[in-house]
Amino acid sequence: MDVRRNVSFIGLTTEWHCLVLPFAFIADAMSFDPIVQVSVSEQVAQRLLTMIRSGLLKPGQQLPPERDLASMLGVGRPAVREAIRGLALLGLLRIRQGEGTFVGSLEMRELLEPLEMVIELNAGTLEALFDARLVIEPGVAALAAMHIGDTEIARLHALVDDEQALLGNPETFSAADMAFHETIVDACENPFLQSISNSLYVLGKKSRRVTSQVEGVLARSLQDHRHILDALEARDPEQASQAMRRHLCRVRDAYAASGSLAKAAEGTVDV
């Protein structure tokens, strides 16, 4: 071996000179992440999650009894029990007393339920959610205007008529409101935007509960929906985008106003 070209762990030799690098220098130059011990229950949860992702465990399918599952995986029953509870909190599994453990429906609304609590517990997340909707939904409306068919237009007309009849019932109006937005999202014919938009809308459930109680909001939303529908029916992407943006801004302003009014009622702010 030509020592002039020899590279070793403790030093570097060249034909010109010899340079020895101390280990401390090497350690400083490299990134040493600590080795994390993964608990048995986490490994069990990861194995079950992999089986769900791969389709080996399908929505609604019942898992083997806890004892059998522990034997199959070669672990103790407490680890299996803890893994199941963790996945159940995420909505991936459903525990039915007296029946057993089942894979959840894996539908978006069900999987987003844990995130709804996160949003309610963290101040400012709803405002961030509105910002995200303002970025995404006007573009979705523009795409929908380019792809929407007569069947979707007819459904939107029917939903707007339903909203007109439901102005005195905020809860039922909210259901029609959701169907209106979902129809537009479906019409954009982009699976990525559909997934993002539907997720954002589902997570905005709390803001709709609040704003639907503000006087005049439902009537303004109905008016906004009519303008959005007019733009979609005209197949005008720019107008559809602008109409959706105006609608979202008005809803956001109503939510902000509802917070100010609540603080005023508590004597913490002047209005």
Specify the pLDDT at position 207: 65
3-class DSSP state for residue 32? coil
169 shares a domain with 125: yes
Specify the pLDDT at position 36: 61
Domain total in the chain: 2
251 shares a domain with 147: yes
State which of 80, 105, 130 marks the end of a domain.
105
Specify the pLDDT at position 255: 77
User: Which two structure tokens, joined as six digits, stand for 125?
Assistant: 């997340």
Q: Rounded to two decimals, what is the model's pTM?
A: 0.59
183 shares a domain with 69: no
Specify the pLDDT at position 153: 97
157 shares a domain with 70: no
217 shares a domain with 156: yes
Specify the pLDDT at position 71: 93
**Domain span at 174:** 111-267
Specify the pLDDT at position 249: 92
213 shares a domain with 93: no
d(CA 207, CA 228): 21
Query: Over the Cα atoms of the chain, what is R_g?
Result: 28
170 shares a domain with 213: yes
Specify the pLDDT at position 7: 44
State which of 105, 138, 153 marks the end of a domain.
105
Residue type for position 129: L
Residues in the chain with pLDDT values less than 50? 1-21, 23, 121, 260-271
d(CA 91, CA 217): 33
62 shares a domain with 48: yes
Q: What is the CATH number of the domain that holds 171?
A: 1.20.120.530
State which of 55, 77, 105 marks the end of a domain.
105
116 shares a domain with 101: no
Residue type for position 24: A
Helical (H) or strand (E) element with 121: helix 108-121
86 shares a domain with 154: no
